[in-house]
């Protein structure tokens, strides 16, 4: 079937003017009022039918592409690569995008770490004069064993940076993101006469380490390649039904800092505690006192989290150890809040050690790895509401839901350059609607992202991902 979309768009504006004319005509005319109303109705119906037809054309193209996209998804799912090792995944993405006519550059990114290659992919498709829109997917899987029992489950074993053997799983659904991006690329190439401007599609590594976006920006993502007027991404959601998308305006995801603390005491025999400075007791007091940062030092109106996720110390019942190690995650939306929390952690740790009589040269060591720091993600309100309207038109109002902000983290936020580039990441429902219903009825939570049991429902998820992202880009780059 030949249904030339560009002519539809031109016709659409032509008929809009006809519509306006006919409206005024109906005001001034003194005869044939009935006729004018009929004309108005006919034109309105005609306009609607054009929109439905172009929507149907996209639907048909997506259905045609779905079998091979699902094949791509299963291949990516079965072959995950963990952060910093996305070599094959990146070259697969590069090859696919090149075959669609994109100018592709590989290995974009610089971690600033010797011998660590950054596998960033940048694909550019120029299509006349217009805005530059960047669509991002992440590439990395997680170091964990998959326990979904799926026929295409990953059985990959690999080594991490410290040489430890680990499993690998796309437990955050970055395989869904990649497949949706490739599907979107295919649709936009097919619909080239419906948009104009420069499309930049990127594959970003090391999202799970909060390092990839920064590495790509540091390596000239916005200077060697066209700087976007808009940056868009999607992330699958482990509680939202497949077929739906979720939208959050403003702060959507939190900043993330990992903090390592070594609480040092003076070890000795468990029977003679008075001759020691017990780091187990000191660390315990620190853990509890850290909880007062959010409750007493941060405004109740500002979201913040301080979680001590790991505490390790000692070897035996009757030995007071020399050290205890704590691992913390710190989350916030606003930069001053983040700084307040980090300063308070250090002050509280040192203060408690001091009060326990630990000498100054044995105060806790607090390490904050700013290399793996992830800033918060702010969804530009204007862009987000524009996309919401687009999604509602493409997917139906019932399939677009408002999602509350979360304290999870995403380094996509970096691409917004603190508000200089309007950016928006939206949620893509990935769960079998039956499972969502069952979980609500039974009150049992669904497997979350990063769970070894996380089992997205590929077909409706990818269909919706491609449709939502293609519609978003068409809206931002429409002729």
Q: Is 165 exposed, middle or buried (0-12, 13-18, 19+ CB in 10 A)?
A: exposed
Nearest in space to 231 (alpha carbons), one of 305, 330, 131, 327: 131
Nearer to Zn ion, 202 or 286 (CB): 202
Question: What is the residue whose two structure tokens read 């939570």?
Answer: 445
Q: In the complex with Zn ion, which residue's Cβ is closer, 130 or 408?
A: 408
Asked about 138 being catalytic, the answer comes back as yes
In total, the chain counts a number of residues equal to: 479
Shorter beta-carbon distance to Zn ion: residue 225 or 454: 454
Closest distance between Zn ion and the C-beta of residue 155, in Å? 21
What letter would DSSP give residue 82?
B
For Zn ion, the closer of residues 284 and 452 by Cβ is 452
State the nearest-atom distance from the C-beta of 121 to Zn ion, in Å.
Answer: 17
Q: Does 234 bind Zn ion (CB under 5 A)?
A: no
Interaction residues for Zn ion, span 53-72 (CB under 5 A):
none
Shortest gap between Cβ of 461 and Zn ion (angstroms)? 14
Q: How far is the CB of 140 from Zn ion (least distance, A)?
A: 8
Give the burial string for 223-261 (b: 16+ CB within 10 Å, else e). Answer: eebbbbbbbbbbbbbbbbbbbbbbbbbebbbbbbbbbeb
Minimum gap (Å) between residue 143 Cβ and Zn ion: 12
Q: Which residue is nearest to Zn ion (CB)?
A: 172
Nearer to Zn ion, 222 or 427 (CB): 427
- Catalytic residue (choose from 81, 96, 106, 138): 138
Asked if 296 and 285 touch (Cβ cutoff 8 Å), the reply is: no
Whether residue 208 lies in the annotated active site: yes
Positions in 162-201 near Zn ion (CB under 5 A): 172
Query: Would strands 423-431 and 230-241 be described as parallel, antiparallel, or unpaired?
Result: parallel
**What residues between 425 and 464 interact with Zn ion by CB under 5 A?**
none
Closest CA to 468 of 378, 401, 406: 401
Q: Catalytic residue among 96, 106, 207, 208, which?
A: 208
- Taking the C-alpha atoms of residue 195 and residue 475, their distance in angstroms, rounded to an integer, is 8
Q: Is 457 exposed, middle or buried (0-12, 13-18, 19+ CB in 10 A)?
A: middle
Which residues participate in catalysis according to the annotation?
138, 208
Note the residues at the interface with Zn ion (CB under 5 A): 172
């Amino acid at each position: 079937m030949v249904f030339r979309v560009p002519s539809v768009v031109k016709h659409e504006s032509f008929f809009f003017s006809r519509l306006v004319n006919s409206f005024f005509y109906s005001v001034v005319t003194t005869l044939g009022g009935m006729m004018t109303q009929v004309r108005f109705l006919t034109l309105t119906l005609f306009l609607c039918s054009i929109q439905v037809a172009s929507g149907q054309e996209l639907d048909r193209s997506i259905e045609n592409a779905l079998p091979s996209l699902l094949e791509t998804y299963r291949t990516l799912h079965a072959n995950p690569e963990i952060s910093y090792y996305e070599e094959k995944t990146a070259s697969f993405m590069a090859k696919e995008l090149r075959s669609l006519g994109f100018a592709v550059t590989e290995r974009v990114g610089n971690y600033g770490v010797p011998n660590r290659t950054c596998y960033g992919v940048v694909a550019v498709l120029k299509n006349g004069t217009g805005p530059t829109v960047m669509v991002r997917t992440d590439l990395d899987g997680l170091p964990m064993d998959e326990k979904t029992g799926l026929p295409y489950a990953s059985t990959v074993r690999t080594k991490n940076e410290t040489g430890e053997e680990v499993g690998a799983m796309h437990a955050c659904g970055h395989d869904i993101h990649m497949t949706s991006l490739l599907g979107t690329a295919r649709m936009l190439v097919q619909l080239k006469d419906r948009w104009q401007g420069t499309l930049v599609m990127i594959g970003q590594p090391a999202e799970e380490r909060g390092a990839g976006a920064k590495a790509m920006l540091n390596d000239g993502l916005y200077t060697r390649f066209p700087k976007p007027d808009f940056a868009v991404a999607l992330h699958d959601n482990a509680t939202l039904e497949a077929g739906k998308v979720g939208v959050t305006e403003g702060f959507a995801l939190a900043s993330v800092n990992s903090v390592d603390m070594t609480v040092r005491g003076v070890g000795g025999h468990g029977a003679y505690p008075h001759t020691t400075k017990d780091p187990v007791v000191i660390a315990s007091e620190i853990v509890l006192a850290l909880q007062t940062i959010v409750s007493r030092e941060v405004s109740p109106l500002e979201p913040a989290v301080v979680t001590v996720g790991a505490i390790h110390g000692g070897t035996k019942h009757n030995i007071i150890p020399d050290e205890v190690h704590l691992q913390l995650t710190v989350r916030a939306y606003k930069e001053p809040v983040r700084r307040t929390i980090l300063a308070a952690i250090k002050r509280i740790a040192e203060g408690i050690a001091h009060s326990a009589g630990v000498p100054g040269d044995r105060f806790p060591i607090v390490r904050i790895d700013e290399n793996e720091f992830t800033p918060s993600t702010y969804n530009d309100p204007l862009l987000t509401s524009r996309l919401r309207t687009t999604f509602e038109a493409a997917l139906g109002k019932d399939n677009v839901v408002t999602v509350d902000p979360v304290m999870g983290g995403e380094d996509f936020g970096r691409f917004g350059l603190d508000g200089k580039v309007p950016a928006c990441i939206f949620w893509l429902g990935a769960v079998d609607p039956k499972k969502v219903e069952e979980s609500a009825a039974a009150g049992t939570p669904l497997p979350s992202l990063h769970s070894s049991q996380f089992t997205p429902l590929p077909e409706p998820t990818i269909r919706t991902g491609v449709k939502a992202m293609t519609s978003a880009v068409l809206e931002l780059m429409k002729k």
